Amino acid sequence: MITVKDLHKSFGDLEVLKGIDAQVEEREVVCVIGPSGSGKSTFLRCLNLLEDITSGTVTIDGEELTAEDTDINALRTKVGMVFQHFNLFPHKTVLENVTLAPIKVKGLSVKEAEEIGLSLLEKVGLSDKAQDYPDSLSGGQKQRVAIARALAMEPKVMLFDEPTSALDPELVGDVLQVMKDLAQEGMTMVVVTHEMGFAREVGDRVIFMDEGIIQEEGNPDAIFDTPQNPRTQSFLSKIL
Partner 1 sequence: MIDAIMNSPYVKSLPFLWEGLQVTVAITLIGLFLGMILGALAGLGKLSKIKVIRGFWTVYIEIIRGTPIMAQALFIYFGLSELQLNSFTTGVIAIALNAGAYIGEIVRGAVYSIDSGQTEAGRSLGLTERQTMRYIVWPQAFKRMIPPLGNQFVISLKDTSVFSVIAVSDLIYQARQYYNATFEQFETLVMVCLFYLIITIPAALYLRRIERKMDV
Q: Which of residues 130-189 bind partner 1 (CB under 8 A)?
A: 146, 149-150, 153
CB of 39 to partner 1, least distance (A): 18
Q: How many CB atoms lie within 10 A of CB 222?
A: 14
**Quick check: 209 and 232 in contact, CB under 8 A?**
no
Interface with partner 1 includes 69 (CB under 8 A)? no
Chain mean position to CA 166: 15
Instruction: CB nearer to partner 1: give 94 or 206.
Output: 94
Q: Report the candidate in 9, 20, 2 with the shortest Cα–Cα distance to residue 63.
A: 2
Whole-angstrom Cα distance, residue 62 to residue 86?
A: 29
Interface with partner 1 includes 104 (CB under 8 A)? yes
Instruction: CB nearer to partner 1: give 166 or 213.
Output: 166
Which conformational region is residue 177 in: left (phi greater than 0), alpha (psi within -120 to 50 degrees), or beta?
A: alpha
Residue 187 corresponds to which amino acid?
Answer: M
Given 11, 21, 27, 74, the residue binding partner 1 (CB under 8 A) = 74
Interface with partner 1 includes 90 (CB under 8 A)? yes
φ, ψ for residue 50, nearest 5 deg: -70, -25
Chain mean position to CA 171: 18
Given 9, 40, 76, 142, the residue binding partner 1 (CB under 8 A) = 76
Interface with partner 1 includes 79 (CB under 8 A)? yes
Distances (CA, A) of 143 to 168, 175, 195: 12, 7, 15
Given 21, 105, 138, 173, the residue binding partner 1 (CB under 8 A) = 105
CB of 85 to partner 1, least distance (A): 6
Q: Which of residues 45-64 bind partner 1 (CB under 8 A)?
A: 48, 50
Interface with partner 1 includes 100 (CB under 8 A)? yes
Footprint of partner 1 (CB under 8 A): 48, 50, 73-74, 76-77, 79-81, 83, 85, 87-91, 100-101, 104-105, 146, 149-150, 153
